[in-house]
Amino acid sequence: MAAGGGATYQSLPALINHLDAHRESATLSLAYASISDDGMGEVAKFVRDNPFVKHLDLRGNNIQAKGAQALANGVKLNRSLRSLNLKWNSIGKDPSGISSLCDSLKSNLTVGHVDLRNNRINNVGAKLVGDLLRANTTITHMDLSWNDLGVDGGLALLEGLKVNNSLIECQLSGSKVGEETLHEVAFLLRRNRASSAYKASSNDPGAIAAAADPKTSTIANGGPTASPTLANTTSRSLAMAGASALDGDGKGPVSRVQWTAKDSSSLMLRLMMKEREQVLPEDKLFYQQIAEHIDKLLLETSKHKQGRVDGEDRERLATTGFLEREQRYTGEIRETEEMLQRTIADKESLQKEMGYKTAELRQLNEESAAAIRDSVAFQEQAAAEEQQLRKELRDIVAEKRELQDKMTLGNRDLELLQEENVRLKKQVTALQQSVNEMLG
């Protein structure tokens, strides 16, 4: 991501990586990046230690008092920052946040643009900003639009602006400070612009004339005295400016007049002097309206110039961001292609291995089928043998029973024979005794 492009950081490591990647960038944009107070510590460290950053954009990050205090500690030690954009946050919700930020800017000598639009700043915060303007001599542009300053806040801001000679633009749209306060602020801003132009060129005729008038000497911050021939000088300047834009007959343009900041400051000083010289309120109002109209035109011109510069910066940053994104995407595509090649190689290797495994599985299936067939044949053979053995066992049992019956009969016959043998023996014995008796 480019330094000028916004991004969303859901984790602190992503924010730290982004800050590290833009250590040498003049512009750091973290707009709408969801930093909140949690990430402001790292941003504050970046601002504190970075000697290159000039423009810091932190809009739309829900920064509150804690984050503003952390940022104030970083800004206090920074010597390179030129602009600080904090719009669309909540710094003024708690007075401690805007207080810390204002305290850090009081002694700052580099920051010239401060954008605090829509930061929930109330009359208490406006008083703190007024104290800042009372002490600061560097800030030239400040935006406090769409803060609820109120009438009291506008008066507090006005008190600080009365002693400030550096602020030349202060936006207060939607701040509810009151019409009179807005006119007073516009007058003081015109005074500061004229004073700034006088400081830039002390030989400017209008500035010298303004400084010569005791009533307007404070406008030019005091300057060399000169005879106040304001009316003639003003008329001559306007007449010469108009005549130089026409041809000899006054009918058409010949060449464009190069209107400079010195001419603007001279004209504004003269109009302010004329306004203060007038006695009638209608005349004062007339010159005041002319001055305000010219001031608006000058502000519009300044805004257009700043818009052009901002547009060029955005275009440059967008181009830089596009190139960085293109390089990052190219790197990611290269990494993806390398990963794809590795994945294809892994796929081929896995396919070969799967082929080997498939062949082994087929062989194992065949061996399993053969084993199943052998098992079935063995079971059939075992069943047949079991039936044969059962038959033989039945035959043996029957033969055993028959033999047992025969043996029982034989034992009975044997007993009978033994009894007969005993009887015969007795008969023999008796016969012998009879023979013996007969012989004896």
Q: What is the pLDDT of residue 195?
A: 78
Mean pLDDT to the nearest integer, 88-108: 94
What are the tens digits of pLDDT across the range 269-288?
677 777 777 778 787 788 77
What are the tens digits of pLDDT across the range 242-258?
444 334 444 444 444 55
More confident residue, 322 or 356: 356
Q: Which of 141, 142, 135, 143 is nearest to 108 (CA)?
A: 135
Q: What is the pLDDT of residue 201?
A: 55
- With contact defined as beta carbons under 8 Å apart, do 160 and 133 qualify? yes
CA 149 to chain centre: 30
CA 205 to chain centre: 53
SS3 label, residue 143: strand
Order of strands, edge to edge, in the sheet holding 27-29?
Answer: 27-29, 55-57, 83-85, 113-115, 141-143, 169-171
- With contact defined as beta carbons under 8 Å apart, do 170 and 142 qualify? yes
> How far from 132 is each of 156, 246, 282, CA to CA, in Å?
11, 48, 36
Q: What is the pLDDT of residue 258?
A: 58
- According to DSSP H, which parts of 224-280 are helical? 230-243, 261-277
Q: For the chain, give me the number of helices (H) and strands (E)?
A: 11, 6
- With contact defined as beta carbons under 8 Å apart, do 88 and 116 qualify? no
Opening angle at CA 257, ends 253 and 258, nearest 5: 155
Helix or strand holding residue 380 (H, E)? helix 281-439
* Least-confidence region, from 46-60, 214-228, 403-417: 214-228
Amino acid at position 102, single letter: C
- With contact defined as beta carbons under 8 Å apart, do 123 and 93 qualify? no
- With contact defined as beta carbons under 8 Å apart, do 60 and 54 qualify? no
> How far from 186 is each of 158, 213, 267, 295, CA to CA, in Å?
10, 21, 16, 9
Q: What is the dihedral of CA 43, 47, 52, 54, to 10 degrees?
A: 90
Which two three-digit tokens encode residue 334?
């290269």
* Least-confidence region, from 97-106, 120-129, 224-233, 287-296: 224-233
